[in-house]
Structure 1
Amino acid sequence: MTFNPLQERGIPLDRQLRNWSELNVTPIDPDHVDPYTRCRIIAMNGIEVEAILFSHQFTRRCPDPAVKQQLAQVRYIEAQQQKAVNWLLPGLASVLETTIAYEQVAVDLTAWVARMEPDPYLKQAYQFGVLEDFDHLYRYANLYEMIEHRKAEKIVDNLTEVTPGRPTYLHHRHPIDNLRQPYDKTATEPISKLHALTIMAAEQQTMNFYMNVGPTYMEPIARQLYQEIGLIEEEHVTHYESLVDPGETWWEQLLDHEYNECYLYHSFMETESDPKVRAIWELHLNMELEHLRLAAELFKRYDGRDPQEVVAPALPAPVTFEPNKAYLRELLETQIDFTTIGTGYVQEAHERFEQLQAQIHGGEAPPSERVIDENRAKSGREYRLETEGPHPVPSLRADR
């Protein structure tokens, strides 16, 4: 059955405010939860954070008091939604455990989007980025074993492999080579716009998370690793946000944001295994349907167009968290040695890339390499989680 969120009616805005007892959600049990339930929580937190930040930016540029008031009312509800979603994460989990879960989200969500993306250029952007998130997961898993004496398989539960991707030290590129060619809003398919918003939001929350938690560690190698990967997450946000057509009006962007929230809450409601968490997805979907209706009214009034001209007439197939092992292995075998130049991709190191590499590494081994060496020295071997036969060995044409 098709579901067109523009034709549905949700909870009226004046009935969406929740009191403290209603916001006091029961967190998931980290020892028994489905890892993909945790992934859905992290993904939706990123989506809600993006909604709030976008609304703030819109408000700062909006001269109309009535529109600013509506944005403020919806934004307050979005802030409550973000608190309810993010507070589903358990206080028992360490920052590093949550970090590994963040990277599992990045790997399996980006891989799924890459598989589903119809535009070849956009697909390549997701394929390129996911091999870097894959390597970040491997670096953090080794740090986790070294300083907390635990294994990442407890968190990812064999759903996601933990092995080297494109080596993290090779992710540092000249800033102008992190910019991509944006899609054309008049020609791209609606699903492509949703994909771009989703992955941009996911990477943005990871960037923000690492910026804040990195210096809270006492171990020098942990502080240094978060600093290095945090810089790369900024590159990733630049990479993905530049895919969005800058010619989209504020009203169109607002419509897309609200539609995407409906899409993801509906997707996760359809695929969630935890009944209590599913109830939250359903509640928030019914809230977002009203937010979308309000955004559609603003779009019609100020852009003078029918919302059906820019969004899908019905929700696409649900976003699904699922293993992507075979797909990632294929990418490792064919794209491990990619880097970027301008808005494109090459398989050879070029002068601008090599200059940046020399400047940032300064002839020293970066934290992402040292964490593997230190864990190997401490544990007798590096940590990997491989399933279903031998894993391809990365072969690089760019040398450190």
Structure 2
Amino acid sequence: MTFNPLEHRGIPLERQLRNWRELDVEPIDPDDVDPYTRCRIIAMNGIEVEASLFSHQFARHALSLDVRRRLAEVRYLEQQQQKVVNWLLPGSESALETTIAYEQVAVDLTAWVARMEPDPYLKRAYEFGVLEDFDHLYRYANLYEMIQRRKAERIVDSLTEVMPGRPTKYQHRHPYDNVRDHYDRERAAPISKLHALTIMSAEQQTMNFYMNVGPQYMEPIARQLYQEIGLIEEEHVTHYESLVDPGETWWERLVNHEYNECYLYYSFMETEPDPRVRAIWELHLNMELEHLHVACDLMRANDDREPEQVLAPELPHPVTFEPNKAYIRELLDTQIDLTTLGTGYVREAHERFERMQEAINGGEHPPSEVVIDMHREAYGTDYRLETEGPHPVPGLRQR
């Protein structure tokens, strides 16, 4: 069954405003929740935050008072959506537990997008990034057991494995080498544009989350690890945002943002097992359908184009959170030793890479290595969650 958002009207804007009682949603039960329900919440929060940030940036460049007013009206409603989505997360979970869930999102969402991406260059970009987030999950899981005396499997279940990916210490690259070539707005498949926007938004929210919660810890190793991985997330946002064609007009970007929100709310509504959370996805989809029509009207009036020239005629296959163990292991076997050079990828360390490593590490072990050393000292080994037997991970080859 196909679904074309352009053919459906949503809830009129004047009926979308919610009161405090409606916004005060009951959070999920951390001890009785599908891990992927938590992942959908985290991912959708990132999408809503990006929608708000984009709208603010657009408003700062818009000359028309009427356009700025229309953006403000929709933005306020989307801010209410963001509050509902993010407030589904329980206050009883620690920031570190939420962090592990953030990394599960990064691993399984990016892996799914990589599997579905039709453009080989974009696919390589997602495959490259997912091995780094996979390693972040491993580092935070070890920190979690040391600080809270709990194992990450209580959060990720057995859906996502926990073991080393591309070592975080090798992820500090020169900023030049984090900028990729962008897709061609005239030739790229509509799904490629949605993929790029989705992963960029998710990584941006992860970057923002780490930069805010990191200094709240008292334990020095926790503060240091958040600082290190927070800088890698900056690299990841650069990596993914550079995939988007900068030649897209503001109106084109606006309809892409709204269409993507419809796509993801529809996807999550179709795949969500929790009926209470699924009702929120359905409600927000019906709100976003109207936001999309507002964006399309603005595009027609200001960009002299029809949105059908930019958007897909129907929603693609729903985004699905599901295990990607075999796919990740294949990438570990074939791409673990990649790094970037310019807009491409190489297997050997290069001079610019080595200088960056020397400067950032200062001749010492980075926090991402120290946390594993500390865990081994305390427990005799590092923490891993492997569900399909041992799987050795080679290191990066150095010149």
The percent of aligned pairs where both chains have the same amino acid is: 78
Structure 1 counterpart of 2:213:
213
The runs of at least 4 aligned residues of structure 1 exceeding 4 Å deviation read none
Query: Deviation per CA, 1:120-148, whole angstroms, max 9, x where unpaired?
Result: 00000000000000000000000000011
Query: Deviation per CA, 1:55-84, whole angstroms, max 9, x where unpaired?
Result: 000000101000100000000001000000
Structure 2 counterpart of 1:131:
131
Structure 2 counterpart of 1:72:
72
Q: Does 1:365 align with 2:382?
A: no
Q: What is the alpha-carbon distance in structure 1 between the residues aligned to residue 317 and residue 147 of structure 2?
A: 41
Q: What is the alpha-carbon distance in structure 2 between the residues aligned to residue 396 and residue 79 of structure 1?
A: 43
Instruction: Give the letter for the 1:133 counterpart.
Output: D
Q: What is the alpha-carbon distance in structure 2 between the residues aligned to residue 184 and residue 167 of structure 1?
A: 32
Q: What is the alpha-carbon distance in structure 2 between the residues aligned to residue 394 and residue 326 of structure 1?
A: 17
The 5 A counterparts of 1:231-380 are: 231-380=231-380
Q: Does 1:24 align with 2:24?
A: yes
Q: What is the alpha-carbon distance in structure 2 between the residues aligned to residue 110 and residue 374 of structure 1?
A: 30
The answer to whether the Cα contact below 8 Å between 1:165 and 1:394 also exists between their aligned partners in 2 is no
Q: Which runs of 5+ in 1 are unaligned?
A: none
Query: Deviation per CA, 1:180-233, whole angstroms, max 9, x where unpaired?
Result: 000000000000000000000000000000000000000000000000000000
Q: What is the alpha-carbon distance in structure 2 between the residues aligned to residue 62 and residue 188 of structure 1?
A: 27
Structure 2 counterpart of 1:155:
155
Q: What is the alpha-carbon distance in structure 1 between the residues aligned to residue 289 and residue 123 of structure 2?
A: 29
Structure 2 counterpart of 1:41:
41
Displacement, 1:398?
2.8
Structure 2 counterpart of 1:102:
102
Structure 2 counterpart of 1:175:
175
Give the SS at the match of 1:55.
Answer: helix
Structure 1 counterpart of 2:117:
117
The answer to whether the Cα contact below 8 Å between 1:329 and 1:392 also exists between their aligned partners in 2 is no
Q: What is the alpha-carbon distance in structure 2 between the residues aligned to residue 270 and residue 28 of structure 1?
A: 19
Q: Does 1:146 align with 2:150?
A: no
Instruction: Give the letter for the 1:355 counterpart.
Output: R
Displacement, 1:158?
0.7
Q: What is the alpha-carbon distance in structure 2 between the residues aligned to residue 70 and residue 338 of structure 1?
A: 46
Instruction: Give the letter for the 2:210 counterpart.
Output: Y
Displacement, 1:395?
3.2
Instruction: Give the letter for the 1:55 counterpart.
Output: S
Displacement, 1:392?
3.2
Query: Deviation per CA, 1:289-332, whole angstroms, max 9, x where unpaired?
Result: 00000000111111111111111000000000000000000000
TM-score with structure 1 setting the length: 0.99
The answer to whether the Cα contact below 8 Å between 1:103 and 1:133 also exists between their aligned partners in 2 is yes
Q: What is the alpha-carbon distance in structure 2 between the residues aligned to residue 149 and residue 200 of structure 1?
A: 33
Query: Deviation per CA, 1:88-114, whole angstroms, max 9, x where unpaired?
Result: 000010000000000000000000000
Q: What is the alpha-carbon distance in structure 2 between the residues aligned to residue 181 and residue 392 of structure 1?
A: 33
Give the SS at the match of 1:326.
Answer: helix
Instruction: Give the letter for the 1:126 counterpart.
Output: Y
Q: What is the alpha-carbon distance in structure 1 between the residues aligned to residue 107 and residue 96 of structure 2?
A: 16
Q: What is the alpha-carbon distance in structure 2 between the residues aligned to residue 75 and residue 327 of structure 1?
A: 38
Give the SS at the match of 1:340.
Answer: strand
The answer to whether the Cα contact below 8 Å between 2:131 and 2:336 also exists between their aligned partners in 1 is yes
Displacement, 1:360?
0.5
Instruction: Give the letter for the 2:20 counterpart.
Output: W
Q: What is the alpha-carbon distance in structure 2 between the residues aligned to residue 158 and residue 142 of structure 1?
A: 16
Q: What is the alpha-carbon distance in structure 2 between the residues aligned to residue 394 and residue 289 of structure 1?
A: 47
Q: What is the alpha-carbon distance in structure 1 between the residues aligned to residue 214 and residue 398 of structure 2?
A: 28
Structure 1 counterpart of 2:2:
2
The answer to whether the Cα contact below 8 Å between 2:165 and 2:393 also exists between their aligned partners in 1 is no
Query: Deviation per CA, 1:260-314, whole angstroms, max 9, x where unpaired?
Result: 0000000000000000000000000000000000000111111111111111000
Q: Does 1:222 align with 2:222?
A: yes
Q: What is the alpha-carbon distance in structure 2 between the residues aligned to residue 264 and residue 222 of structure 1?
A: 33
The answer to whether the Cα contact below 8 Å between 2:336 and 2:394 also exists between their aligned partners in 1 is yes
